Amino acid sequence: MEASVIGDNTGLQSELDESVRIKIKTISELPPFIREKRNSGKSVVLAHGVFDLMHIGHIRHLEAAKKEGDILIVSITGDGYVSKGPERPVFKETLRAEAVAALSYVDWVVINHATTAEHVINVLRPNVYVKGVEYADASKDITGNITLEKKLVNSYGGRLEFTDDITFSSSSLINQHTDFYELSLKDYLSSLRNQGTKERIFEFIEEIAEYKVLLVGDAIIDEYQYVKSLGKTPKENLIATLSTGCELFAGGVIASANHMAEFCKEIEIICAIGEGENGFESFIRGNLKENVTLTPIIRPDIPTTRKCRYIDTGYGMRKLFEVYFMDDHPLLGELENDLISLIGKKTKGADAVIVTDFGHGLIGRRAIDELVQKRNFLCVNAQSNSANHGFNLITKYPRADYICMDQPEARLAVQENHSTIEKVVGQLLPLKVQCPRIVVTTSKNGCVTYSHEEGLSASPALTSSIIDTVGAGDAFYSLSALFVKAGATMEEIGFVGNVAGAIKVGIVGHRQSVEKTVFKKFVTALLQ
């Protein structure tokens, strides 16, 4: 007697797969089917969700949804639009669609390539839109999507219903009952969960919402030139590429402002930009959030710093080389006086002053003295990079309330390359800069934090899925600074910064800011 192999019944498996997959349609394919069903008197029900880890709660929810009508359609959030935390979704959209389609009472499944269900609702116009009971109280929906979806459903005469049965959280099940995260990260998140960190962070978000923040820093235009590699030229040792597209982003202090604008009441920027076409002023203003005010110092005959990156898209986002268009000579004369005057005026009404110093000539000694003297709450990031030849050290600021930098910058500041990063952060840096709170990011290892009261602590990185690292450190610094001002512990600050960084590395360039709703969903998914 031959041994049977589970899943080896090829014919039956093929038949089963086809019966399931035939239920999976595109959104544009469904309207003719729906019209046919409605013409025969059938009513249509729509349920929407991620369905990342199918569980009994999902099964009961969809079973109840089917009872609200004749035809049940389930829309699944596409992979690129899931904001459930690092490495999510666990299962790709095609597998999630198959899992839902395998339920006998589900008639069709569609993959929705959007962050909300509004497009699906608008196209399919279901008679009934069904959500779980956890959405019944709209005030508890951190995204606010249920309010928008209800309004849309009501607009054409449909109705919204909530199922009330066993409820589980896929994120909670994944966090607590699987090996999805490494043990050290799992223990770290469990510790934060037990301390009520999520609730504290949400309280801080409410406080931050009323902040007025002044940003002083370098404006940068980040240009992405996308190319396809053609190989080495036959006559010279050069790589030949074919241009496939270009994107411009407002980076530097502009990107930082847009991150914070999602969380704060008012943001004002003081920066220097060029004149005319080389200044990109219209472009910059067009890429600012509504609650961001730009106060530029115009530098005649000097362009706004532009960093052009050539990127081979054949293998993800592989950067080939960069070309900088810049003049990093310091502000002098009346321009410097204008900067000093603006700092003196604008710091008075600010809850926090946040400096993003790329070392491109904006912030000299006089400006630093003015920032330190007039500060209410001063946060500083001074970047040491190839564009400033490593000369732009955090030590040029004699004191601050919060400083944040990466590991190479910290080591350059204390001139120590071989000591542990813990010694650098906890012992050597405090001797160089008078600052009660310090964070040093350590790339894939997360960050190390230090304060006079709490001492040293480490916060692990929250994702290993990286699309683009440009601006990740700025996102970390910008949002963590707000929480420092709000009074968060250093452990909480490290976590907040790592959340912001984990979100940002999933975004190409500055196509999007770190949005508050995405941030809150990310925190919730990790800590529930």
Nearest to 505 by CA among 470, 481, 480: 470
SS3 183: helix
**Three-class DSSP category at 163:** strand
Average pLDDT over residues 336-364: 95
Q: Would the pLDDT of 13 be above 60? A: no
* pLDDT of 9 over the 80 cut: no
Q: Please determine, for residue 10, whether its predicted confidence score (pLDDT) is greater than 50.
A: no
Distance in angstroms (rounded) separating the CA atoms of residues 450 and 429 = 10
Residue 211's nearest CA partner among 267, 172, 285 is: 267
Average pLDDT over residues 57-85: 90
Under the banding of pLDDT at 50, 70 and 90, the label for residue 179 is low
User: Residue 498: what pLDDT?
Assistant: 97
Judge whether residue 8 has pLDDT over 60.
Answer: no
Choose between 184 and 499: higher pLDDT: 499
Of 24-33, 156-165, 314-323, 479-488, which has the strongest mean pLDDT? 479-488
Q: Is residue 314 scored above 90 in pLDDT?
A: no
pLDDT in tens, 18-55: 778 889 999 999 999 899 999 999 999 999 999 988 88
pLDDT above 90 covers what percent of the chain?
73
Residues 144 and 52: beta-carbon distance below 8 Å = no
In this structure, the number of other CB atoms found within 10 A of the CB of residue 431 comes to 8
Quote the CA–CA distance of 196 and 16 in Å, as a whole number: 46
The pair of structure tokens assigned to 225 is 């030139």
Can you give the pLDDT at residue 221? 97
pLDDT tens per residue across span 408-423: 999 999 999 999 999 9
**Residue 222 predicted with pLDDT over 50:** yes
What's CA 18's distance to the chain center, in Å? 38
pLDDT at 492: 97
CATH assignment of 201-527? 3.40.1190.20
pLDDT band for position 459 (cuts 50, 70, 90): very high
For residues 436 and 40, give the distance between their C-alpha atoms in angstroms, rounded to a whole number: 72
Read off the pLDDT of residues 91-101 as tens digits, 9 standing for 90 and up: 899 999 999 99
pLDDT digits (tens, 9 = 90+) for 225-264: 999 988 877 778 888 889 999 999 999 999 999 999 999 9
What is the predicted pLDDT for the residue at 525?
Answer: 87
176, pLDDT greater than 70: no
DSSP-assigned states of every residue in 316-371? SSEEEEEEEE---PPP-HHHHHHHHHHHHHHTTT-SEEEEEE-SSSS--HHHHHHH
For position 170, what pLDDT does the model report? 64
Whether the predicted pLDDT of 178 surpasses 70:
no
Average pLDDT across the chain, whole number: 90
Residues 6+ apart with CB under 8 A from 10: none
Strands 44-49 and 128-132: parallel
| 130 band by pLDDT with thresholds 50, 70 and 90 | very high
* Burial per residue of 283-299, b for 16 or more beta-carbon CB atoms within 10 angstroms, e otherwise: ebeebbeebbebebbeb
* Sheet bearing 305-312, strands edge to edge: 239-252, 219-232, 305-312, 318-325
Indicate the domain borders of the chain: 10-173, 201-527
Q: What is the mean pLDDT of residues 118-144?
A: 88
How many CB atoms sit inside 10 A of residue 377's CB?
18
- Dist. CA 46–CA 75, nearest whole Å: 7
Classify 246 as helix, strand or coil.
Answer: strand
Is residue 5 scored above 50 in pLDDT?
no
Question: Is the model's pLDDT at 275 over the cut of 60?
Answer: yes
Fold for 10-173, please state it: Rossmann fold (3.40.50)
pLDDT in tens, 232-243: 777 788 888 899
**Residue 450 vs residues 3, 278, 284, 458, 498: alpha-carbon distances, Å:** 62, 41, 35, 9, 15
pLDDT over threshold 70, residue 497: yes
What percentage of the chain exceeds 70 in pLDDT?
Answer: 94
**Residues composing the chain:** 528
CA–CA dist 353, 331 (Å, integer): 20
